[in-house]
């Protein structure tokens, strides 16, 4: 039997586009004499649909498009994901389902049993878990069809009391098929492979796995769909961060071939780079935006953001605005200009000193001679934001935020100033990771001026200012932040790890007291296992460690 995997970039709620992509893939599979084609979890509506699932019309649209797909399922069978109604009055109204279609009809529905309700996932908010699992009989093969998390309850860390495959294996299937919506983070690809291989080792049958690709606001899906033979060897991995289409023969899947698939190795930082480029590209394309703008300071964060934006959207669709104040160094202006010229990105230079002085004059009667402090520093950042947003309104740009995760974590940024924007590109990268990304960008030639990478980081909001005046060295700060945010280590554990007690207490207090700032920031492209945003939910008014 020939089975096709269609790894597609879906758009949440764009039923016409999603269905057209599915139908095109079905036609392609028919032309190559495939017996079965498999699409991803919730393919018809896109993932995650979140509270769209509460609208009756949304669910009805899913079913109308399912019928349209079924009408093309002649001479080929189709597996496709969508939400379906739960006929039982008890429990949630919906199932997260996979439809098996053949001979122009929906032959069976298979519902997801294990509903993740952690980090970025909240499926139990909408769906009722299935309590029974049945195989599909098709052309002499018995297929164990599962949906994403249904295969993840394996190994030492099991979050659920049972595994659906334990029920399915008792029905003697020949092959496992898993349809998924598994978002990218820099640990997920290896973790996912290990989970899927462990399933093959446990159940002794081959596995086909198809994932989403593309970005849905914060979440980025890497694709990387897999075919694993009965000997638990990966025989093929579909492309990462691109749509793909592959055909597999069950004879090959059932072979005992021990040859190892020669995967092209991609480093952590390269996968982050590719994910961020895709994240920017899809955010703009799926919202109908075309042009991006950002404030270019000559520092590392805005430099890396500009490079990524130019790659994602094309340099002709990106504009850089230099907004120097009286505290801006000439070398920062020169570095910014050199980068814009290297990328062939249009730019403007708009000094803000006159605007700043005007604000000072307006406020001086009320400040009554009080010394300069963070108030005047923040004025500059907010003036810059006003200018950038004026360009957005007048010319249709979307402002890219350039803050990094280290700054966002400790509140080292100005609310309604440098923290504003339509999309945060680097908000899930620590400062040290931004430097890694800059070096990766420059691996073939110097796009980012060397001076932007090696100079001490500074907001340049007062004379001779350096980040280290207010924060620990980033090499130390980022290690503490990583252990606290990603690994959930408490103060005692961090101190026992050898970090200075005073720095630990200060850092954790800064993180927790600045939750209110992060709550007001733009969506952050997620590349880590624990990003600020939908996957990290902390109270703003909490007292813990603050």
Could you list the active site residues?
A: 41, 112, 148
User: d(Cα 290, Cα 318) in Å, to the nearest integer?
Assistant: 9
Residue 121, classed as helix, strand or coil, is coil
Q: Is the bond preceding residue 48 a cis peptide, omega within 30 degrees?
A: yes
User: d(Cα 539, Cα 546) in Å, to the nearest integer?
Assistant: 12
User: d(Cα 235, Cα 357) in Å, to the nearest integer?
Assistant: 66
User: Is the CB of residue 233 less than 8 Å from the CB of residue 260?
Assistant: yes
User: d(Cα 486, Cα 481) in Å, to the nearest integer?
Assistant: 8
User: Is the CB of residue 363 less than 8 Å from the CB of residue 343?
Assistant: no
Structure tokens at 261: 């698939």
CB neighbourhood size of 103 (10 A): 11
Give the DSSP H/E element, type plus range, for residue 143.
strand 141-147
Between strands 2-7 and 244-249, the pairing is antiparallel
Instruction: Name residues whose C-beta falls within 8 Å of residue 29's C-beta, 6 or more positions apart in sequence.
Output: 4, 6, 37, 76, 247
Residue 340, classed as helix, strand or coil, is helix
Structure tokens at 354: 């006159």
User: d(Cα 201, Cα 176) in Å, to the nearest integer?
Assistant: 12
Residue 466, classed as helix, strand or coil, is coil
User: d(Cα 41, Cα 80) in Å, to the nearest integer?
Assistant: 7
């Amino acid at each position: 039997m020939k089975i096709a995997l269609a790894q597609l970039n879906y758009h949440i709620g764009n039923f016409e586009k999603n269905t057209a992509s599915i139908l095109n893939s079905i036609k392609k599979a028919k032309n190559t004499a495939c017996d079965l084609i498999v699409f991803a979890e919730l393919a018809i509506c896109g993932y995650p649909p979140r509270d769209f699932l509460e609208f009756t019309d949304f669910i009805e649209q899913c079913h109308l498009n399912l019928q349209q797909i079924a009408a093309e399922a002649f001479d080929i069978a189709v597996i496709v994901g969508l939400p379906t109604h739960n006929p039982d009055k008890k429990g949630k109204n919906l199932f997260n389902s996979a439809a098996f279609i053949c001979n122009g009809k929906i032959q069976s529905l298979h519902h997801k049993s294990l509903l993740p309700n952690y980090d970025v996932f909240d499926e139990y908010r909408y769906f009722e878990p299935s309590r029974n699992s049945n195989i599909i009989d098709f052309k002499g093969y018995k297929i164990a069809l599962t949906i994403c998390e249904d295969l993840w309850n394996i190994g030492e860390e099991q979050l659920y009391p049972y595994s659906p495959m334990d029920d399915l294996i008792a029905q003697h299937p020949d092959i496992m098929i898993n349809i998924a919506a598994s978002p990218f983070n820099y640990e997920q690809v290896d973790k996912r492979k290990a989970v899927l291989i462990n399933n093959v080792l446990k159940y002794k049958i081959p596995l086909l796995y198809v994932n989403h690709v593309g970005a849905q606001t914060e979440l980025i899906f890497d694709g990387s769909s897999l075919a694993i033979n009965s000997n638990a060897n990966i025989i093929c991995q579909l492309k990462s961060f691109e749509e793909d289409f592959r055909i597999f023969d069950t004879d090959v899947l059932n072979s005992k071939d021990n040859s190892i698939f020669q995967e092209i190795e991609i480093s952590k930082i390269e996968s982050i780079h590719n994910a961020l480029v895709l994240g920017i590209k899809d955010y703009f394309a799926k919202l109908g935006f075309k042009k991006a703008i950002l404030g270019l300071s000559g520092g590392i964060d805005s430099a890396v953001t500009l490079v990524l934006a130019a790659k994602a959207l094309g340099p002709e669709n990106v504009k850089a605005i230099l907004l120097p104040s009286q505290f801006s160094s000439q070398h920062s202006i020169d570095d910014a200009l050199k980068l814009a010229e290297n990328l062939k990105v249009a730019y403007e230079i708009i000094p803000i000193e006159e605007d700043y002085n005007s604000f000072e004059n307006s406020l001086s009667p009320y400040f009554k001679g009080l010394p300069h402090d963070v108030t005047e520093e923040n004025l500059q950042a907010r003036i810059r934001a006003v200018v950038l947003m004026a360009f957005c309104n007048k010319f249709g740009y979307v402002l890219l935020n350039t803050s990094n995760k280290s700054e966002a974590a400790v509140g080292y940024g100005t609310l309604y100033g440098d923290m504003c924007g339509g999309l945060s590109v680097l908000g899930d990268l620590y400062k040290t990771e931004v430097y890694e990304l800059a070096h990766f960008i420059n691996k073939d030639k110097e796009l980012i001026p060397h001076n932007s990478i090696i100079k001490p980081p500074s907001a340049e909001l007062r004379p001779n200012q350096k980040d280290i005046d207010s924060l620990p060295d980033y090499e130390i700060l980022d290690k503490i932040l990583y252990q606290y945010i990603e690994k959930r280590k408490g103060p005692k554990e961090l101190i026992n790890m050898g970090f200075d007690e005073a720095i630990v207490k200060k850092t954790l207090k800064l993180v927790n007291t600045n939750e209110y700032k992060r709550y007001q920031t733009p969506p952050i492209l997620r590349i880590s296992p624990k990003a600020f945003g939908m996957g990290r939910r902390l109270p703003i008014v909490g007292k813990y460690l603050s």
